[in-house]
Amino acid sequence: MDKYVIGVDPDSAGVPMARYLNGKLMNLATVPLIDFYKLLLEIQEAGDHVEIHIENVCASNAVFSDKETDNKRKRSAIGVSIGRCQQAQIEVERMAEGIGVPVYRHKQSSAWKDGRGATALFKAATGWTGRSNPDTRSAAYFGKLGTMSPKYNG
């Protein structure tokens, strides 16, 4: 039996995901929620183990505040965006629960997402040389945590 770990960075525009097979990063993609669901079903139907490791954006319940963002309209738009990502996490978790796929939540992190050296650190940790973006690298980070500690649930 193969073991799949799927890393997810919840987003309202799709499901940024990283698929690990037996500890090796196989692919990065952003897919519609229904395609993500079909992927999980295919893995299960093949008799393989699958689990999801997701960024826990729902743990962030603070109102967005930034001294440099005094514009109320801009703060509101950011708040709406965060709420949409939280809803995306809820939908992924509901779907997974409905088909018996375990979900492990991880604290928010931008370890491989943005900033100088993020891409190089990501490549060094995963060996990935293909295309990536901040969201798929973030998904890969949470998936990597799952490959290192499969019973983690933060």
Q: What is the pLDDT along the chain (154 residues), one digit of tens a residue?
A: 899 999 999 998 899 999 999 999 999 999 999 999 999 999 999 999 999 999 999 987 655 555 665 677 777 777 788 889 999 999 999 999 999 999 999 999 888 887 778 888 899 989 999 999 999 999 999 999 999 975 644 3
Nearest to 81 by CA among 131, 151, 11: 11
Residue 50 near residue 133 (C-beta atoms within 8 A): no
Nearest to 6 by CA among 154, 152, 141, 153: 141
Name the 3-class secondary structure at 30.
strand
Q: What is the pLDDT of residue 10?
A: 95
Q: What is the pLDDT of residue 79?
A: 79
Q: What is the pLDDT of residue 103?
A: 97
- 3-148: CATH class: alpha beta
Give the CA dihedral 95, 15, 119, 125, nearest 10 degrees: 20
Q: What is the pLDDT of residue 64?
A: 53
CA angle, residues 19, 153, 103, in degrees to nearest 5: 45
Q: What is the pLDDT of residue 153?
A: 43
